[in-house]
């Protein structure tokens, strides 16, 4: 973060020893060794269900004047206010995978704060991290997170069905990559309804039947239910 | 196709007048004006359920020595043999949308033929159209087509759920594009199971409940069923 002009005072963790060996160049600080009087901005990069516990510990060290920022899509920010008046969120809309550098400039970051001072602090940090920063309300951030679940979590699982079928039949899955990329390109260019093609859309019953037969034969029951559900949804909207 | 070294003798259609106005530079031929003695290769770019009717007409004009090639993922090639001994397929694995130029070099093309001469003819054409040509069996081509249905047809419908939710809440849908692109990148790099993240994977019940509440409140019943189905599938595989 130093190359972005952000002064990182330390990475607060429960047990620095666990991390120091892995990342010897990072300034880890034990949570019970934060200087008591220090006012700082804490960015909480932890799972949703660990946020409140972390606030509990911070407040024990008399840090209630500090600013706390969570990075969650769905966490309820208001539940932080009894602990820290200055609170907010910095939500980078991307899926993070190990072993892959993240280009923060390509990632939209959504921010909000409990008051204008806090918002400005968070905006400053976000604008140094990336250049695609948007102020967004608590409720819209949660809706965005729901959309992200459909696109990333469910999208991964959907593509996984094709991946498993291709693998089992010894068909290289990468054959399907240009199609997947085009699918994304098109749905972000026009409405999904006008982009829709395929047997379900054109009511090609014999192809649908052949696909269902295949899935039944292979014992792919969940995949068959998925096929029926999508086919129904596509047909429902094209009546 | 001329710039690819393929001599295109004509585009056979039922009613040339319908097309000549739209595409004045294309050589349309009426189906009942094909020179009777001519042996040629016919590439059938028609819907699956029109292929047999088209063969019926061609055979009436005494063209049974010709080669016929369908472009379908799921059509049963063997049903062509009683009409034309020399038959096969040239299946470009991509979704075609109007108003967008297709880069054939980026599209995998899958070919097969009823005999080696026919296969060679089709290979020659395919290799001039693109540079990502693969010989594939009838059954694998059909499996590929099923995979393509999951990725493109169902993928479009899945992303459409997020698109509709974003639109209704006046959230710009393009905010989600980097995430969608990353979803594709990652699942083609590693197995979907290790790429899986999200509330379903980490059994984050309170986030799941909030999402279901939202979908119920908005009356998004099919979207709610979809949410439950994917959540169950992801949890089933992470027991």
With H, G, I as helix, E, B as strand and everything else as coil, classify residue B203.
Answer: coil
Residues of chain B with pLDDT under 70: 1-6, 36-38, 97-101
Tokens of B120: 């060679």
Give CA–CA dist B143/B127, Å, rounded.
23
Q: Which residue has the higher pLDDT, B166 or A15?
A: B166
Task: Compare CB distances from B162 to A150, A176, A200 and report the shortest one's residue.
Answer: A150
Look over chain A and give the mean of its residue pLDDT values, rounded to a whole number.
90
**The pLDDT of residue A2:** 55
Q: Cβ contacts (< 8 Å) between A169 and chain B: which residues?
A: 140, 143
Residue ranges of A 129-148 with Cβ closer than 8 A to chain B = 134, 140, 142-144, 146-148
Q: A84: burial class by Cβ within 10 Å (0-12, 13-18, 19+)?
A: buried
Between A103-107, A156-160, A197-201, B123-127, the lowest mean confidence (pLDDT) is in A103-107
Tokens of B53: 């009717």
For every residue of A165-199, which 3-state class applies, written as one string? HHHHCCCCHHHHHHHHHHHHHHHCCCCHHHHCCCC
Residues in chain A: 239
Q: Cβ contacts (< 8 Å) between A160 and chain B: which residues?
A: 187, 191-193, 196
What is the complex's ipTM, to 2 decimals? 0.91
Nearest residue of B to residue A213 by CA position? B146
Instruction: Give the pLDDT confidence of A128-187 residue by residue, as tens digits.
Output: 989 999 999 999 999 999 999 999 999 999 999 999 999 999 999 999 999 999 999 999
**The pLDDT of residue B220:** 97
B174, A188 contact by CB (below 8 A): yes
DSSP bridge pairs for A110: A91, A134
Q: A153, B200: Cβ pair inside 8 Å?
A: yes
Check whether A49 has a pLDDT greater than 90.
Answer: no
Residue ranges of B 69-108 with Cβ closer than 8 A to chain A = 74, 93-95, 97, 100, 106-108
Q: A1: pLDDT confidence band, cut at 50, 70 and 90? A: low
Q: What structural domains does chain B harbor?
A: 2-136 (3.40.50.720), 142-236 (1.10.1040.20)
Task: Compare CB distances from B163 to A180, A187, A230 and report the shortest one's residue.
Answer: A187
Q: Which residue has the higher pLDDT, A159 or A22?
A: A159
User: Is the CB of residue A235 less than 8 Å away from at least one CB of chain B?
Assistant: no
Q: B187, A108: Cβ pair inside 8 Å?
A: no
Check whether A211 has a pLDDT greater than 70.
Answer: yes
φ, ψ at A19 (rounded to 5°): -105, -25
Check whether A230 has a pLDDT greater than 90.
Answer: yes
Q: A38: pLDDT confidence band, cut at 50, 70 and 90? A: low
């Amino acid at each position: 973060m130093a190359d972005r002009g952000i002064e990182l005072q330390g990475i607060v963790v429960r047990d620095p020893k666990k991390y120091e060996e892995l990342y010897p160049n990072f300034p880890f600080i034990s949570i019970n060794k934060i200087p008591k009087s220090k006012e700082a901005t804490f960015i909480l990069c932890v799972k949703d269900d660990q946020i409140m516990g972390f606030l509990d510990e911070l407040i024990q060290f008399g840090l209630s004047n500090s600013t706390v920022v969570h990075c969650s899509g769905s966490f309820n920010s208001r539940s932080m206010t009894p602990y820290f008046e200055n609170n907010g969120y910095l939500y980078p809309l991307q899926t993070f995978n190990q072993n892959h550098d993240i280009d923060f400039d390509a990632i939209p970051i959504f921010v909000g704060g409990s008051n204008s001072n806090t918002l400005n602090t968070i905006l400053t940090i976000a604008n140094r991290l990336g250049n695609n920063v948007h102020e967004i309300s608590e409720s819209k951030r949660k809706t965005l997170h729901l959309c992200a679940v459909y696109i990333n979590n469910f999208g991964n699982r959907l593509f996984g069905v094709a991946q498993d079928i291709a693998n089992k039949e010894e068909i290289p899955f990468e054959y399907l990559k240009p199609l997947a990329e085009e699918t994304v390109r098109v749905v972000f260019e026009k409405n999904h309804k006008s982009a829709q093609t395929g047997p379900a859309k054109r009511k090609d019953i014999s192809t649908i039947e052949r696909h269902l037969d295949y899935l039944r034969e292979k014992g792919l029951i969940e995949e068959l239910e998925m096929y029926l559900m999508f086919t129904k949804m596509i047909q429902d909207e094209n009546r």
